[in-house]
Homo-oligomer: A and B are copies of this chain.
């Protein structure tokens, strides 16, 4: 294989450990400098490739690259931007080729969720159709855990640990207050269509009757009457009620309970269902409620990352480079579970064609019969993903995250490109 430069970029909503995947890519590429030249990072994902806004990662110190492993956010900027298909927008792909050719890029590493794997897949198709040879490897990341084939998606385990920790702590709070004050607490959890993170809240319930008492999963149609009956029963038995509610729950009419606007992909932008359901409880059952919407905090909470998740995030970054060097193309490193307890896993190559635009929902046998909880099978699946603590270094009482220099690569093309 000729000595080519590589392109790496981050896409979609960030996770607590996407920078650990970046670290895996960059450290592994540096070890293989005989085969890979410089790694150019796209500033703000694929947008950086289209606008020729590339970052020269070779100018970052070893220490700065190592610090990515413990740094929140997405160090090179991320994007919400979906490529159209080749026949819909040929110019976009021609532009990518122009940029890649100008910078002698022969490897394309794209780190993200379902939409991002679709981008990686389209770039690999373009490579064939437009006869520009480039090795395309997707790198999994999504706190929603909805990528197919892989046992889990890096980023999810840390969000799962965050929300399970948060709901346990809030439950201790509520239990203390409930005799004379608040009786219900609802935590709103991310996951537009798939209830993985909401389900993970149930890991906080380590004994009969402990919180959370009710999960509202997006896989189950919200039924006001059954829900209020369950809340009332819980209040009678426990004196208080802790609820984990997915941002994406819908009523029988198919509408989200949380009204919202739309993002660049045309997805509804959600948020605010927790006040809706606690408002309902307050009105119908007459008790005081509290609610929390952690929003970004649950996906960028690097301070409470899962060590297991962190290790996997690094591993898929490293494997992406190793797969590329071993001659694989149009694949994504996927995690394969070998055993539940102890959790053992390895990494296999999954074809991008089988991953792009697929969503993995909670299977029916992971959801309890009444729809408000999870089964033992779900617990076996989820439990190992939050194991281990991986605290970042702290400075002056706060997590000490690195900000890279992100020095731009001098442009070589005369033309610009509007995205």
Contact = CB atoms under 8 A, between A and B. Distances in A.
A13 to B, nearest CB: 7
Nearest to A160: B397
Nearest to A79: B180
Nearest to A13: B177
Nearest to A178: B77
B396 A203 contact: yes
Interface stretch (A264-272, A353-361, A408-416): A264-272
Interface stretch (A130-138, A294-302, A312-320, A322-330): A294-302
Interface string A246-277: 00000000000000010110000101100100
B399 A394 contact: no
Interface stretch (A24-32, A227-235, A365-373, A382-390): A382-390
Interface stretch (A87-95, A100-108, A118-126, A164-172): A164-172
Q: Indicate how many identical chains form the complex.
A: 2
Contacts of A43: 179
Given A293-B292, A296-B292, A396-B203, A303 B165 contact: yes
Interface in A176-235: 176-177, 179-181, 185, 203-204, 206
B300 A303 contact: no
Interface string A60-77: 000000000001111101
Contact of A173 (B72, B271, B419): B72
Interface residues of A, number: 75
Nearest to A291: B295
A47 interface: yes
Contact of A80 (B45, B177, B386, B387): B177
A383 B304 CA distance: 22
A288 interface: yes
A44 B175 CA distance: 10
A142 interface: no
Contact of A294 (B180, B261, B275, B297): B297
Given A81-B180, A169-B300, A176-B10, A161 B398 contact: yes
Given A177-B13, A180-B44, A203-B397, A172 B304 contact: no
A45 B176 CA distance: 10
Contacts of A417: none
A336 interface: no
A62 B169 CA distance: 23
Contacts of A275: 271-272
Given A44-B180, A293-B291, A383-B396, A303 B77 contact: no
Interface string A30-69: 0000000000000111010000000000000000000000
A78 interface: yes
A389 B394 contact: yes
Contacts of A177: 13-14, 74, 78-80
A303 B386 CA distance: 15
A303 to B, nearest CB: 6
Contacts of A282: 261
30 contacts: A14-B177, A44-B180, A45-B180, A47-B179, A47-B180, A73-B173, A73-B176, A75-B176, A77-B175, A77-B179, A79-B180, A80-B177, A161-B398, A165-B303, A169-B301, A169-B302, A169-B399, A170-B296, A170-B297, A173-B296, A174-B296, A203-B396, A203-B398, A291-B293, A294-B297, A303-B304, A383-B397, A386-B398, A388-B397, A391-B391
Interface of A: 10, 13-14, 16, 43-45, 47, 71-75, 77-81, 161, 164-166, 168-170, 172-177, 179-181, 185, 203-204, 206, 261, 263-264, 269, 271-272, 275, 282, 288, 290-297, 299-304, 306, 383, 386-389, 391, 394, 396-399, 401, 419
What are the 3 A-B residue pairs with the smallest beta carbon separation, nearest first?
A73-B172, A386-B397, A74-B176
